[in-house]
Structure 1
Amino acid sequence: MTDTTRDSPQNSNSGPWVRRLPSKHKCCCLWPEELVFYGPASASVTASEINDNVSTPMSTNRHLYSPIWPLLLPQLEQHYRKAHRNGIKKPKRYRHESTMGMDAKFLRNQRFAKKHNLKPKQQLKRAAARRARTAERAAQAPPAVK
């Protein structure tokens, strides 16, 4: 048995391998302190101790140092632009709103209230009659003593 079989778990000499240590947080992120590189080129060394000359696979190393939010920022800005492309519209007002689920007692009272409402011409006639009555009473009343 040679040293290469002991060093490499896949029994191949292709390059350094990466293993993830148990994480303190329950996230899928790979932080440099949690990675252990091992293989024929290097013994068990953490990522902070590795020199620049040790090359790691791009798939394991690409997202370590770039946070995701700058990538999502342009998408968020596009959403704001899309929201105003058709304008901000008020909700439609229908002529007769639905009375489904409304209080039955209130609806009955509302029907009677609407039935006894006056039309504008009738309101003007009533107001004129009321003014005439008050003027007539004021004329018939005896003058106030000072």
Structure 2
Amino acid sequence: MEAAGGERRTPAAFVAALGPEAGGTAAAVLPERLQRREAERQRGVARQRELKEAQAVREEGSEFFAAAFGREREAVEALLAAGQAEEAAARLQGLQKLLTESVRFLAPYEVRQGQEAVSRLQADLAARRQHYFSSPTYSLLFNTRKK
């Protein structure tokens, strides 16, 4: 144990070994400066680790978005196929909100694909509404109420 202790020098012993020009005050200043440097280095390493972890969370968010967006898109398409336009419109608004909130961490390609899917669903919804309002049964609904 002493052999290892004798070979390994503490910072103060290292400064003393530098020679007489190091002086007594320099011996006290140098270890403090080294400690501050080491502490700053440790803070930098911790910052880099946090940034890396935050990046991992963003990547997980992208996968979560893809799954949630796919489920909602299929639900809206099913509602449109079933003829439930009002419920489909409400779900479509939720889909738009999900896309808008996720733009921060999505790749531009994913954003563009999501916007195209939303606009396609909106066009389909508008076409279904137009078909419903132009149908003869819609005009008959108001004619029967006049008495």
- Report the TM range for the smaller structure's normalisation: under 0.3
Higher relative contact order (CA 8 A, sep 6+): 2
- Which structure has the highest helix share of the two? 2
Q: Which has the larger radius of gyration?
A: 1
More strand by share: 1
